[in-house]
Amino acid sequence: MSGPMISLKNIQFHYDPGKTILNDLSLSVEKGSITAILGPNGTGKTTLLHTILGLLAPQSGEIWVAGKSIRAYKRSELSQVIALVPQSEVVPFNFTVIEYVLLGRTPQLGFLDMPSAADVDLVRGTLKLLEVNHLEHRAVTELSGGEQQMVVLARALVQEPQVLLLDEPTSHLDLSNKGRLLKILQTLAQQGVTIVFSTHDPDAAAMIADHVILLKAGAVLDAGLIFQVLTSAKLTETYGTEVKVVSIDGRLVTLLINGRFNEKEKVS
Amino acid sequence: MAQRLVWLLRLPRIITAALLGATLAVCGTVLQMIFRNPIVEPGFLGVSQGAAFGAAVAILWLGGGRLTVELSASLFALLGLAGSFILARTIKFGGWVLRLILSGIVVSALFSSGLGVLKYLADPLTQLQEITFWLLGGLWSVTWKDLLYVAPVVMIGLLVVYLMRWRLNVLALGQDTAFSLGAETNRERLVLLIAAVSATAVLTALSGIVGWIGLIVPQITRQLFGPSGQFAVPGSMLIGAIFGVVCDNLARTLLAGEIPLGILTSLIGALLFVVIINRSRIKLR
């Protein structure tokens, strides 16, 4: 692994001056690594991803991507470097899967260009890689949550990004689809793509992440290698509820201690 | 003689009808994709009511000459658009699309009330009839000169939309996705809106209010060619042009006297809309 792919220094962000969302936040992400952002609801995970994407401009601080300040990038240039899989994508009208995924080629096209046959081939190849090629002519709006997530991922992948940002990518997925998606992310990282994803699921982080960033109230509570950060004490502090982290076959698993009501506590 | 009739009267009218249909349809497609809403049409954003108000002003106070009415209607249609934009910037809540639609409703209502005042002030025997007739819409007296006045704006507007038809797809996705795909979302939306609405404004000034084409043709086009702007933009131009020419011909020939085009497009458009919403999968989100 070489120098940092993403680096944030002293980021300050707010929508309203009185309500700081990101507070003096600094972090760095290595090329080809997988980083998970964990933290309670409303702590600024999506805001952080949107800041790295350039969609939200911080009031102060510096963001560097691939060795260059994001303010030095043209919009179209930056979209060739970073792709986003948003938390939910509402696709309007009846775009078919292939029409929708082709839109991911936009950053690679000239401003007024149309996609070529080579772009269509690339899209078909990506759909096949993600095992959703049979959905090619289906309307995106008619797909199941798991299928739709794979299609959105395909749209981001055909951008051929160096950095892939994912906002809670596993939140609508069943166990099998979750496993499949995480495996794909792991393969992408092995190919050199830098992956940053936010999640409410510490187990998803434990499955594939090299690094974990714990956010609380817009600031980094802790950040580092997964085995150093994903501990009972730190997760308990982050979420404000008792969490136990155990190791099973060398992998970390989190348990929510007060997560199971006993008979007396059940609401009748 | 017959040749001269076709050349002087029929041909400019047919071309204008085709351009009017194509422009209204393509403007509807642009608005529906930018606003991600299949039931938006060019009447939004204060354009139609602005044009109507402008025409009434010209009829009442500026002598009512044909060119004056057209210029005044174009000017107020564009003022309607500008007013909607400026007002949208001052609203403090909601996303850009919601603010723009709300502003369009407010600006339309203001022009509409202004038009009511002008109708009240108008001479009922001459001016009021003229205003009413203009509002009904029609192409009965279009000449080559009229067409040449509006053609540059219309052709440039259509060309811009045609060239940006792939960008339209990107803008139809959510704000964060469109941004991540490299779109300068606000700037590109503005260029497309100005191109489509300016073309509509100058043609509306020529034809009066011709409704429903901008709502119904994009729906038909999406069913035939799919939603991608790559095909929906040229498709709506083609179908809009055909729709415009057919409606104008029917308006001219159906009865002994000419039926105002606006009445006919509303009648056919509303009937088609009922068929489409009952058969298609229009989804309102």
User: B85-94, B106-115, B240-249 — which is least confidently predicted?
Assistant: B85-94
Q: Answer whether A234's CB lies under 8 Å from A240's CB.
A: no
**Chain A residues 24-83 with CB within 8 Å of chain B:** 50, 53-55, 75-76, 78-80, 82-83
Q: Please choose, from the candidates B215, B204, B225, the residue with its C-alpha nearest in 3D space to the C-alpha of residue B157.
A: B204
pLDDT at B44 over 80: no
A117 lies within 8 A of chain B by CB: no
User: Residue A130: its pLDDT value, please?
Assistant: 92
Strands A163-167 and A82-85: parallel
In a domain? residue B285: no
CA distances from B99 to A92, B95, B186, B218, B246 (A): 19, 6, 13, 23, 37
Give contacts of A89 with chain B, Cβ < 8 Å: 173-174, 177
Q: What is the CATH number of the domain that holds B16?
A: 1.10.3470.10
Q: Where are the domains of chain A?
A: 85-161
User: Residue A1: its pLDDT value, please?
Assistant: 45
User: Residue A260: its pLDDT value, please?
Assistant: 55
Neighbours of B157 (CB within 10 A): 25
B61 lies within 8 A of chain A by CB: no
**What does the DSSP assignment read for A233-266?**
HHHHHHHTS-EEEEEETTEEEEEEGGGS--GGGS
pLDDT at B85 over 90: no
Q: How far away is chain B from the Cα of A203, in angstroms, using its nearest Cα?
A: 27
Q: Please choose, from the candidates B238, B174, B201, B166, the residue with its C-alpha nearest in 3D space to the C-alpha of residue B45.
A: B201
At B191-239, the pLDDT tens digits run 998 899 889 988 988 888 888 899 999 999 999 999 999 999 999 999 9
Q: Answer whether B205's CB lies under 8 Å from B258's CB.
A: no
Rounded distance between C-alpha atoms, residue A61 and residue B41, angstroms: 43
- Interhelix angle B213-225/B11-34, rounded to 10 degrees, is 70
CB-based contacts of B106-110 (< 8 A; 24+ apart in sequence): B107/B45, B107/B46, B107/B49, B107/B50, B107/B80, B107/B83, B108/B43, B108/B44, B108/B45, B108/B46, B108/B48, B108/B49, B108/B50, B108/B80, B109/B49, B110/B46, B110/B83
This prediction has a pTM of 0.88
At A21-68, the pLDDT tens digits run 898 889 999 999 999 999 999 899 999 999 999 999 999 999 999 999
Give contacts of B161 with chain A, Cβ < 8 Å: none
For residue B25, the Cα-to-chain-centroid distance in whole angstroms is 8
B172 lies within 8 A of chain A by CB: yes
Q: Please give the average per-residue pLDDT across B238-261, as a whole number.
A: 93
pLDDT at B10 over 90: no
In a domain? residue B6: no
Tally of domains in chain B: 1
User: Residue B285: its pLDDT value, please?
Assistant: 38
Q: How far away is chain A from the Cα of B75, in angstroms, using its nearest Cα?
A: 30
Rounded distance between C-alpha atoms, residue B100 and residue B86, angstroms: 9
User: Residue A266: its pLDDT value, please?
Assistant: 54
Nearest to B38 among A79, A84, A93 (CB): A93
Rounded distance between C-alpha atoms, residue A60 and residue B86, angstroms: 29
Find which of A16, A45, A90, A93 to mutate to test the B interface (most B CBs within 10 Å of its CB): A93
Residue pointed to by tokens 């309203």: A16
User: Residue A262: its pLDDT value, please?
Assistant: 53
At A78-119, the pLDDT tens digits run 999 999 999 988 888 889 999 999 999 999 999 999 999 999
Q: Does residue A17 or residue B121 have the better pLDDT? A: B121
Q: Please choose, from the candidates B21, B190, B160, B168, the residue with its C-alpha nearest in 3D space to the C-alpha of residue B89.
A: B190
**What 3-state class would DSSP assign to B194?**
helix
A54 torsion bin: left (phi>0), alpha (psi -120 to 50), beta (else): left
User: Residue B258: its pLDDT value, please?
Assistant: 87
Per the DSSP assignment, residues forming a β-bridge with A35 are A196, A211
Give contacts of B38 with chain A, Cβ < 8 Å: 93
pLDDT at A178 over 90: yes
Count Cβ atoms within 10 A of the Cβ of residue B102 and give its class: 0-12 exposed, 13-18 middle, 19 or more buried. Answer: middle
A86 lies within 8 A of chain B by CB: yes
Task: Spell out a b/e string for B234-256, using b for 16 or more CB atoms within 10 Å of the CB, else e.
Answer: bbbbbbbbbbbbebbebbbeeee
User: Residue B92: its pLDDT value, please?
Assistant: 82
pLDDT at A225 over 90: yes
CB contact under 8 A, A75 and B176: no
Neighbours of A18 (CB within 10 A): 6
B223 lies within 8 A of chain A by CB: no
pLDDT at B240 over 50: yes
A110 lies within 8 A of chain B by CB: no
Rounded distance between C-alpha atoms, residue B53 and residue B61, angstroms: 12
User: Residue A68: its pLDDT value, please?
Assistant: 93
Find which of B177, B186, B192 to mutate to test the A interface (most A CBs within 10 Å of its CB): B177
Q: Answer whether B72's CB lies under 8 Å from B57's CB.
A: yes
Q: Answer whether B108's CB lies under 8 Å from B48's CB.
A: yes
Find which of A73, A90, A106, A158 to mutate to test the B interface (most B CBs within 10 Å of its CB): A106
At A191-214, the pLDDT tens digits run 999 999 999 999 999 999 999 999
Count Cβ atoms within 10 A of the Cβ of residue A105 and give its class: 0-12 exposed, 13-18 middle, 19 or more buried. Answer: buried
pLDDT at B72 over 80: yes
Q: Please choose, from the candidates A68, A69, A67, A3, the residue with its C-alpha nearest in 3D space to the C-alpha of residue A32.
A: A3
User: Residue B284: its pLDDT value, please?
Assistant: 43
pLDDT at A267 over 70: no
Q: Please choose, from the candidates B48, A154, A262, A186, the residue with its C-alpha nearest in 3D space to the C-alpha of residue B56.
A: B48
User: Residue A194: its pLDDT value, please?
Assistant: 97
- Interhelix angle B11-34/B229-253, rounded to 10 degrees, is 140
Q: What is the span of the domain harbouring residue B35?
A: 12-279
User: Residue A45: its pLDDT value, please?
Assistant: 94
B236 lies within 8 A of chain A by CB: no
Q: Please give the average per-residue pLDDT across B30-49, as a whole number.
A: 84
Q: How far away is chain B from the Cα of A114, in angstroms, using its nearest Cα?
A: 7
Residue pointed to by tokens 């009066």: B208
Four-point Cα dihedral B271, B276, B277, B278, nearest 10: 90
A95 lies within 8 A of chain B by CB: yes
With a threshold of 0.85, tell me whether the complex ipTM lies above it: yes
CA distances from B139 to B30, B178, B196 (A): 24, 40, 20
CB contact under 8 A, A92 and B33: yes
For residue B261, the Cα-to-chain-centroid distance in whole angstroms is 14
CB contact under 8 A, A114 and B230: yes
Q: Chain-wide mean pLDDT for chain A?
A: 91
